[in-house]
A and B are shown apart, each in its own frame.
Chain A
């Protein structure tokens, strides 16, 4: 129920998140103001430990900000964000369900009949290229295949907001590119607001309409926003070769580099 049709899909209004006690606790992020328009693809980059995932969790309603407001399509967020889908970095599939069951179960909370849910799940697994693997359990699938199942599980509910927390982080370089292209293809067919967290600047530029750069934690904040005007449809591998890509990369890296160095100096980024 959008309060206003032009309201941003996600608005983070002067958010601060502190873990532990409010005084003397660890402040992960503060002074965060970010708006994601419907249909806009935003990538958040920042050094390790800057609280990028914390922002996603706040947008998902998994974490209540200590200060500030989260609004979803103009309405304040209470509890979990039912209009968002979340793609986790770690394996989040139910290991006791097959690929088909994992995707189909996502429709159960909406009251879809089992038969219909399975038909839709079959269709989605086909779209992510897993038609031959629908009866496999997660442990029988490769890391990339599991991510495809997770992607189908998220998208089958047709959420209006997609939250992704370094979803392709654990994958190898080639698989990441293939998954990135798959994501862009699916997103282009049905544009949703996307908040995509990554530590890979190249991935961020190749995917997003806008790249948001965060400072090193603790008390991280947004230090820059850069529009990416590269034409769509893009191919993740080829877009990197364009001169415009290099130009944007150079510009963003100039502001990101000092923060990465700060993070390393604190020892935050020392461990992989």
Chain B
């Protein structure tokens, strides 16, 4: 009953927002409708545009490009982060020497790298993958580094007393510990991979969701911008659901988060 009520309330908020948007743009309340519709479009127009994009099949190509960039950025970023996280956690000297440079590199707002990457890798997908990589790499790197360093000393001592050699320790103790930390940041890092892809496309490309939004914006097509945003949101929610599924499967051993507040 409570759950039903919650869902109804959630739907009500969404509908209320759409209704408000519709009323304010369909009737000359704040300003003439032509003016409000130019700046804010209307919910029906936006939905119609989203429908058209999918129906015409035009959007699939862009979705595929963005998805591909996201997946590549995540794969390379996570791979590099795991590799270097491991290496630095197991080699104290390396970590100490590189510490200030890693901090400096991480402090840099990654968007400023986009033009450089466009110059180096061209306007195709690789400049976007590179941008996403720089975002994902540091998240995964720091998490894996932390995860390997903070392996419970008791679990480690126990594994050693069981006679495990370095390779077995890596496989049974360090690796799972590092993966836990990586997966706890999975939502964030996948999100950042997507941010890298979309921002990169927005700044210069010929395909992808970021490109679609940029293209609409450059001709003052507000309906197109909003439609692009709606598609992007749906896309992000779907990806997030897939990530949640993967996470549930891989972290099955973890205690469930404390019970929800819905009674």
| A and B assemble together | yes
Chain A residues packing against B (C-beta within 8 Å)? 60, 62, 80-82, 84-86, 88, 90-98, 105-106, 108-110, 137-139, 150, 153, 157
The answer to the question of B100 belonging to the interface, with a C-beta cut-off of 8 Å to chain A, is: no
Are B253 and A95 in contact, with the CB atoms below 8 A?
Answer: yes
Q: A86-B158, A92-B157 are in contact. Are A139 and B164 (CB under 8 A)?
A: no
Are B176 and A82 in contact, with the CB atoms below 8 A?
Answer: no
Interface residues of B in 148-189 (CB under 8 A from A): 152, 154-155, 157-165, 168, 172-173, 176-177, 180
Q: How far is the CB of A240 from chain B (nearest CB, A)?
A: 31
The chain A residue with its CB closest to the CB of B164 is: A109
Interface residues of B in 218-255 (CB under 8 A from A): 252-255
Chain B residues packing against A (C-beta within 8 Å)? 152, 154-155, 157-165, 168, 172-173, 176-177, 180, 252-255
Q: Kindly list chain A residues whose C-beta atoms are within 8 Å of the C-beta of B158.
A: 86, 88, 92-93, 150
| Bound-complex Cα distance A210 to B84 (A) | 52
Q: How far is the CB of B66 from chain A (nearest CB, A)?
A: 33
| Bound-complex Cα distance A137 to B253 (A) | 6
Q: How far is the CB of A81 from chain B (nearest CB, A)?
A: 8
Interface of B is mostly: helix
Q: Kindly list chain B residues whose C-beta atoms are within 8 Å of the C-beta of A108.
A: 164, 168, 172
The chain A residue with its CB closest to the CB of B252 is: A137
Are A109 and B154 in contact, with the CB atoms below 8 A?
Answer: no
Q: How far is the CB of B256 from chain A (nearest CB, A)?
A: 9
State which of A90, A91, A153 has its C-beta within 8 Å of the C-beta of B162: A153
Are A105 and B157 in contact, with the CB atoms below 8 A?
Answer: no
The chain B residue with its CB closest to the CB of A60 is: B161
19 extra interface residue pairs, beta carbon distance < 8 Å, beyond A62-B157, A93-B158, A153-B162: A81-B161, A88-B154, A88-B158, A92-B157, A93-B155, A95-B254, A96-B253, A98-B253, A105-B172, A106-B162, A108-B164, A108-B168, A109-B164, A109-B165, A110-B163, A137-B253, A139-B253, A139-B254, A157-B163
Q: A88-B154, A96-B253 are in contact. Are A109 and B172 (CB under 8 A)?
A: no
The chain B residue with its CB closest to the CB of A79 is: B160
Q: Kindly list chain B residues whose C-beta atoms are within 8 Å of the C-beta of A139.
A: 253-255
| Bound-complex Cα distance A150 to B159 (A) | 11
Q: How far is the CB of A167 from chain B (nearest CB, A)?
A: 12
Are B161 and A84 in contact, with the CB atoms below 8 A?
Answer: yes
Q: How far is the CB of A88 from chain B (nearest CB, A)?
A: 5
